[in-house]
A and B are shown apart, each in its own frame.
Chain A
Amino acid sequence: MTPPEAPAHGTSEHPDVVRLLDADGSLSPSAAAEAYLPYIEALDDADLKTFYRDMAVIRAFDQQATHLQRQGQLALWPPSFGQEAAQVGSARAARAQDHLFPSYREHAVCRIRGVDPVDIIRLMRGLTHGGWDPADPKNGNTHIYTLVLGAQALHATGLAMGMVFDGRSGTGDPDRDAAVIVYYGDGASSQGDVHEAMVFAASYRTPEVFFLQNNHWAISVPVATQSRAPLVQRGTGYGIPSVQVDGNDVLASYAVTRRALDEARGGDGPRAIEALTYRMGAHTTSDDPTKYRTSDEEQSWARRDPIARMRAYLEGRGASAAFFADVEAESRAVADDARVRTNALGGIDAEAMFAHVYSAPHPLIDEQRAWLAAYEATFEGETR
């Protein structure tokens, strides 16, 4: 079968796409962005610098994790390289009471909400299937990664339904009202669970933002194979107001998510965002993108690099060289810390296999745990 021709997917240059920063870093709102300017005008220099810092630090961490995988310390690493603006903008738009459901590449989202990046490494190193408790205050209501594509869209929707039932959204008190963001990609947008989640979300008017990062490739399959129409139109079909944003523009990503979350929290029902971005790295460290995409394409996206763009913008606003040097030092420190602590991660006790299969006692598990312990004991004093 011949592959489908590229459909009319939006590009970040289209006037309907919300974009605040030009590729060269000047503030140059697209037609669709005018309504979002107040969200940016409300930010001060410190906020803007935080966005930059978030992006730069997570990129350094991400590169370190990629190296660690190459050195055999991790089983796998899914790089976030290139997608920093979509993640940082959206996560910085959330309030403390909001819940975030990542897929498996949202390293920047996790770090912003307080999750220890080494907890993500523990997952990819094979020490856990989760790694953190979303309800622990230090994790900022960030749920664990889900590797089954799109499955978390339904969990997010169910949690948001519960917020409606408990009167935790739409009360008119923005400090108390809560919402949910669910992250997924262009590949996952083909999964039935994402569609069913949109049906439930629209029907129960959940306080929820569907945040689709269209990074243009589902491993080796281009987005044109996932959809003949711009993915932003999917939400509209379910009755969910939807917007397309330049996902390599951290200001635009922040503004559209901020507004969508405000509306969702306020009781207006779900919202959908398609962030146009690009996975600069491989899908995971097991992947070889040179087999399916051209260097021309990669270079054209490199010219729209989210970090370089924000740096140019901040420099235009007078940010000092000392600031950038400080960010670089922090980035190095976070990356070095990740390396040191990863190398120090120990093994795992076999007992962990039997823990938490069930919450209540289970005779079969108990029997097998006891059997293994007795079996292991027969090797005592021997080297296995």
Chain B
Amino acid sequence: MPIAKALNAGLRAAMSASDRVLLMGEDIGRLGGVFRVTEGLQAEFGERRVLDTPLAESGIVGTAIGLAMGGFRPVIEIQFDGFVFPAFDQITTQLAKITNRHEGAVQMPVVIRIPYGGHIGAVEHHQESPETYFAHTPGLRVVSPSTPNDAYWMIQEAIESPDPVVFLEPKARYWQKGEVDLTAPAVPLHASRVVRRGTDVTLVGHGAMVTTLLQAAALAESEGTSCEVVDVRSLSPVDYGPLLDSVRRTGRMVYAQEAPGFVSLGSEIAATVTEKAFYALEAPVLRVSGFDTPFPAAKLEGVYLPDPDRILEAVDRALAY
């Protein structure tokens, strides 16, 4: 099933498991969300469990905080990445810190779902990659699934988390199909995962970029270069285990992301990998990212977003050391 349907199934499972799970957001009820992720859930669970809220992002997050104080587990949808900023204060100064301010006495099991990233040719404010703002904020957990199976399981794990989770959905992949295994034990929420084995270069990324990395790896293979691909999955905290193991075997790493490169997840991971696996590295960790410009008008997004060619150019540079 596609990622959007897997998320829908995961939300349904979580709502069936506990009547304290509530969905809140703009147009998520009758319409089922602009990406239809919540389709049918209001009909199934009622208007008290799936709330079409007023159009006010800070209000959605702030009232979800109060609901969590009352023992609910709210799952919020922010309609598009660029619209999370009106709620930024409530997320970073309140949601992220309330457990700490209460010295542990109050937990904040709130999930903020945000469709993020480019590749859909949309207009301004509809294609942002805001992950670094949240990963930089202590108290928040940040994750991003790249496959339907992860989407199904990770949304349920995020809802179970006693800590607030910013759940970034790669909107470009909502319709990408894959198997969902309803019986196999899920990969833990905060684990990175090797999604393709290889020996020459480790390619790392998250969200929609994982598919692009796999495309690059397939092209590289046809040219005789063996690439390993690691899906970070959890952006805060990062699980460095599989990533470092991989880099220690290949000696080379390329990180690809849609977000601007300056002070980004790729910067952080490159620095940490360099500290922890310095003697295994044959080349500096290289980054391929969006440019440090505002996300461009849609007709330029093909230039802005890392594609397999730009990733392979970095692979060639890494191999040239």
Contact surface of A with B, Cβ cutoff 8 Å: 128-130, 133-136, 143-144, 146, 148, 151, 153-163, 165-166, 192-193, 196-197, 199-200, 203, 355-360, 362-364
Contact = CB atoms under 8 A, between A and B. Distances in A.
Contact of B107 (A155, A158, A359): A359
Contacts of B103: 128, 130, 133, 355-356
A358 B137 CA distance: 12
B294 interface: no
B284 interface: no
B67 A148 contact: no
A171 B21 CA distance: 23
Contacts of A161: 63, 66-67
Contact of B67 (A128, A135, A159, A193): A159
A203 B100 CA distance: 31
A156 B63 CA distance: 7
Contacts of A134: 69, 102, 105-106
8 tightest CB-CB pairs across the interface, nearest first? A158-B66, A154-B62, A162-B70, A196-B59, A158-B63, A133-B105, A359-B162, A159-B66
Interface in B139-194: 139, 141, 161-163, 190
Contacts of A148: 89, 93-94
A158 B100 contact: no
A197 B59 contact: yes
A357 to B, nearest CB: 5
Contacts of B215: none
B56 A199 contact: yes
B237 A363 contact: yes
B112 interface: no
Contacts of A128: 101, 103
B225 interface: no
B56 A357 contact: no
B312 interface: no
Contacts of B48: 165
Contact of B58 (A130, A154, A364): A154
Contacts of B97: 129
B70 A166 contact: yes
A200 B54 CA distance: 7
A373 B246 CA distance: 30
Contacts of B163: 358-360
B44 to A, nearest CB: 17
Nearest to B141: A358
B104 A193 contact: no
Contacts of B15: none
A136 B53 CA distance: 31
Contacts of A130: 101-103
- B interface residue count range (under 10 / 10 to 19 / 20 to 34 / 35 or more): 35 or more
A162 B90 contact: no
Given A162-B71, A357-B138, A360-B163, A157 B62 contact: yes
Interface centre among B48, B62, B89, B107 (most CB of A within 10 A): B62
A158 B102 contact: no
Contact of A129 (B54, B67, B100): B100
Contacts of A153: 62
Interface centre among A144, A154, A163 (most CB of B within 10 A): A154
A87 B155 CA distance: 44
Given A148-B89, A196-B59, A362-B237, A356 B100 contact: yes
A129 B59 contact: no
A155 B94 contact: yes
Contacts of A359: 99, 104, 107, 162-163
Nearest to B49: A165
Contacts of B69: 134, 143, 155, 158-159, 162
12 contacts: A129-B97, A130-B103, A134-B105, A148-B89, A151-B62, A154-B59, A158-B70, A165-B48, A200-B54, A355-B104, A357-B100, A358-B139
Contact of B90 (A143, A154, A159): A154
Contacts of A362: 141, 237
A134 B62 CA distance: 18
A356 B67 contact: no
B101 A144 contact: yes
A148 B94 CA distance: 9
B89 A356 contact: no
Contacts of B217: none
A187 to B, nearest CB: 16
Interface in B55-75: 56, 58-59, 61-72
A203 B99 contact: no
A157 B106 contact: no
Nearest to A157: B63
A160 B65 CA distance: 11
Nearest to B61: A154
Contacts of A196: 54, 56, 58-59, 62
B143 to A, nearest CB: 13
Interface in B240-265: none
Given A154-B62, A158-B67, A359-B99, 17 more contacts: A129-B100, A129-B101, A133-B106, A151-B90, A155-B66, A157-B62, A158-B63, A159-B69, A162-B67, A196-B62, A355-B103, A356-B99, A357-B139, A358-B139, A359-B162, A360-B161, A364-B237
A157 B138 CA distance: 25
A360 B99 CA distance: 11
B89 A151 contact: yes
A162 B48 CA distance: 10
A135 B69 CA distance: 10
Contacts of A129: 97, 100-101
A133 B102 CA distance: 6
B103 to A, nearest CB: 6
Interface in B72-125: 72, 86, 89-90, 93-94, 97, 99-107
Interface centre among B67, B100, B141 (most CB of A within 10 A): B100
Given A151-B90, A155-B94, A360-B162, A160 B54 contact: no
